[in-house]
Amino acid sequence: MNLTKYLFSNQCFFCQKESDKLLGGLCSECSTILPATVKKIHNLYYFLDYKLEKDFFILQAKQYNKPVYLKRFTSFCGELLQKQDMKKGIITYVPIHNKIAGVRGFNQSEVIARVLAKKLNMPCIKLLKKIKQTSFQKELHIKERQSNLIDAFSRINKFISSDLIYLVDDITTTGSTLRECEKVLISTGCKKVIFITLARVIK
Ligand SMILES: [Zn+2]
């Protein structure tokens, strides 16, 4: 990133919007969304806390519907993870159903995983496939979320194995999607799964 270009301008170096009040090169909006630290809970690393899922989706609609913003944001997160002394493993991501991928054009979790893999110097490989088209998790209650996901994922590229797999998603709320994917990865030979998401909803 060419910082000097932004030193004497009133342009936010993240979103590139003009602003009269820049804090450390960032506009007020971006300075609130950019994470300052990595947070870790059990086997989950994440960067942003939300009280409501919808806050993340509003932000997402604003900033992340373009992969370029998503990549830039994830790149920040990747630099924070670089300082975490993480063991080498394979990075993979929560898959979306082919039908959804066709509508949106890309899988956000895959975009995030690929940026992180580059920053952490680890391979990013698709290991899971979504075989059941499920209802949107955010529209379901906790119990429904779990049953909605039963047998939703299957393992692909089985010839690739690793004791340690990092599983990436954009956001987690109850963790049921991540745990369902973890089950599949563990049952097909992986010893440990570590989750990485950009955001976590705390209820
Ligand atoms: Zn900005």
Output the CA 136–ligand 1 centroid distance in Å: 30
Taking the C-alpha atoms of residue 102 and residue 128, their distance in angstroms, rounded to an integer, is: 17
Output the CA 75–ligand 1 centroid distance in Å: 15
pLDDT of residue 62: 57
**Best CA proximity match to 73, nearest among 88, 90, 59:** 59
Shared domain for 196 and 114, answered yes or no, is yes
Please determine, for residue 190, whether its predicted confidence score (pLDDT) is greater than 80: yes
Average pLDDT over residues 129-140: 82
Please determine, for residue 11, whether its predicted confidence score (pLDDT) is greater than 90: no
Please determine, for residue 14, whether its predicted confidence score (pLDDT) is greater than 90: no
The CA–CA distances, whole Å, from 47 to 34, 76, 145, 156, 199 equal 9, 10, 23, 29, 6
Shared domain for 162 and 68, answered yes or no, is yes
Bigger pLDDT: 154 or 50?
154
Bigger pLDDT: 36 or 92?
92
Output the CA 72–ligand 1 centroid distance in Å: 12
Please determine, for residue 7, whether its predicted confidence score (pLDDT) is greater than 70: no
Shared domain for 140 and 176, answered yes or no, is yes
Shared domain for 132 and 150, answered yes or no, is yes
pTM summary value: 0.85
pLDDT of residue 156: 96
Q: Structurally, how many domains does the chain consist of?
A: 2
What confidence tens digit (pLDDT) does each residue in 59-109 have? Answer: 666 565 667 777 888 888 999 999 998 999 999 999 988 777 667 678 889
Output the CA 2–ligand 1 centroid distance in Å: 16
User: What is the CB neighbour count within 10 angstroms for residue 119?
Assistant: 17
Please determine, for residue 193, whether its predicted confidence score (pLDDT) is greater than 60: yes
Shared domain for 92 and 139, answered yes or no, is yes
Shared domain for 21 and 71, answered yes or no, is no
Average pLDDT over residues 164-180: 94
Output the CA 46–ligand 1 centroid distance in Å: 21
User: Which letter does DSSP use for residue 87 in this model?
Assistant: P
Contact 48, 35 (CB under 8 A): yes
What confidence tens digit (pLDDT) does each residue in 115-130 have? Answer: 999 999 999 999 999 9
Please determine, for residue 24, whether its predicted confidence score (pLDDT) is greater than 80: no
Task: Give the CATH number, domain containing residue 91.
Answer: 3.40.50.2020
pLDDT of residue 116: 98
User: What is the CB neighbour count within 10 angstroms for residue 186?
Assistant: 13
Output the CA 74–ligand 1 centroid distance in Å: 15
Bigger pLDDT: 163 or 161?
163
Contact 53, 198 (CB under 8 A): no
Q: Where are the alpha helices (DSSP H) in the chain?
A: 4-7, 28-33, 53-59, 67-82, 98-104, 108-120, 142-148, 176-187
Identity (one letter) of the amino acid at 159? F
Q: At a CB cut-off of 8 Å and minimum separation 6, what does 51 contact? A: 201, 202, 203
Ion ligand 1: residues, CB < 5 A: 12, 14-15, 27, 30
Output the CA 100–ligand 1 centroid distance in Å: 30
Output the CA 4–ligand 1 centroid distance in Å: 16
Average pLDDT value for the chain: 85
What's the domain range around 73? 35-201
Shared domain for 117 and 157, answered yes or no, is yes
